[in-house]
Structure 1
């Protein structure tokens, strides 16, 4: 355990941390196997526990990384023309893309912002927005809002955990990750509930 703690402290104090954080968070938007939230929350906790990294640098770097990753995922979706046509030719795929198109056209901003807090959800939403040719300027604006909220939240809960467990920052990291998971679960439950109610309402009025 001491070896792990020492390794984390060395990484958090390294000037290369910001480069690592940017790469992981941006990649997480395209490939959700990367631990974007974990890295940001850990950095937030150590920003309080050992004053390195610096929060005033950490927040804008996290925002820029999240926005860059979402724009890359959107661009990937725009370049997936053959895949889009293949999905459109199949009933299930066409239904999925139609759902994404309707959702983004009717509540694009809310969907893009809330999806950023759901691991995997942000990837699917960003790529789908590109596949259906959602206007790039609109997507970029909503993605910036989402990235800002996501960065402030994850750095914030990391710093809160660092304040509570200043002498044992890894406990603060665990608390922050737990809170992030709970929020993701709540957002997904609310989103799923709204979709279910919407489908029921449509079926009763049709």
Structure 2
């Protein structure tokens, strides 16, 4: 394992970075939260640092906080959404309301695997008045599954290519991409109805 990877992995700030990036991804969808967790998983396989359990906890806690903030923003914007007058906007609002109230658990847990799905779902759940307690329970389950999956994929890649961490990272990112593709496929087949046409 190259010394620079060891130095970064051993930094006391690495878990704080994971926490912040995972949290900000709910508000800024371009943040590389999954890639960060995967890369740290690769480093953990080769150096033992960061500790895998602490990595999972930091990623899950950050993602949970980010989702909670995004949901809260949506909740505080409900008065704005009630003023929708455009027919298309009201139709989309009604579709999202029906989708979340009929399949909310699946959407909240698995939308994070779809590009942009996590930030959109948390905000939309707040906007349409999805029950807060239910949202937080499903979000907790979703972030734990997501963080374990991302950390283990990275760890697996790092363990298979211990002497070549870049190759391990490439393999891990490929697996993560395949999981995302599968999630998009499942989401497309399981959505009961499409967004209403204008």
For residues 199 and 55 of structure 1, the distance between their equivalents in structure 2, rounded to whole angstroms, comes to 40
Residue 134 of structure 1 corresponds to 130
Q: CA deviation at 1:72?
A: 1.0
Q: CA deviation at 1:116?
A: 1.6
For residues 193 and 110 of structure 2, the distance between their equivalents in structure 1, rounded to whole angstroms, comes to 20
Residue 161 of structure 2 corresponds to 165
Residue 188 of structure 1 corresponds to 184
CA RMSD of aligned residues (A): 1.7
1:143 to 109, 121, 139: 139
Change (3 A) 1:10 1:82: farther
Residue 20 of structure 2 corresponds to 23
Which 4+ stretches in 1 moved above 6 angstroms? none
Q: CA deviation at 1:170?
A: 2.0
Residue 81 of structure 1 corresponds to 78
Residue 31 of structure 2 corresponds to 34
Residue 67 of structure 1 corresponds to 64
Q: CA deviation at 1:85?
A: 3.2
TM-score, normalised relative to structure 2? 0.91
For residues 193 and 169 of structure 1, the distance between their equivalents in structure 2, rounded to whole angstroms, comes to 36
1:56 to 37, 53, 58: 53
For residues 82 and 101 of structure 1, the distance between their equivalents in structure 2, rounded to whole angstroms, comes to 15
Change (3 A) 1:199 1:71: closer
Q: Which runs of 5+ in 2 are unaligned?
A: none
Which stretch of structure 1 is more off in the superposition, 137-146 or 95-104? 95-104
For residues 37 and 119 of structure 1, the distance between their equivalents in structure 2, rounded to whole angstroms, comes to 11
Residue 90 of structure 1 corresponds to 86
Q: CA deviation at 1:95?
A: 1.8
Q: CA deviation at 1:15?
A: 0.5
For residues 77 and 26 of structure 1, the distance between their equivalents in structure 2, rounded to whole angstroms, comes to 16
1:176 to 163, 172, 177: 172
Q: CA deviation at 1:65?
A: 0.9
TM-score, normalised relative to structure 1? 0.88
Q: Is the 8 A contact 2:67 2:119 kept in 1?
A: yes
**Count of paired positions:** 193
Q: CA deviation at 1:180?
A: 1.2
Q: CA deviation at 1:184?
A: 1.1
Change (3 A) 1:14 1:92: same
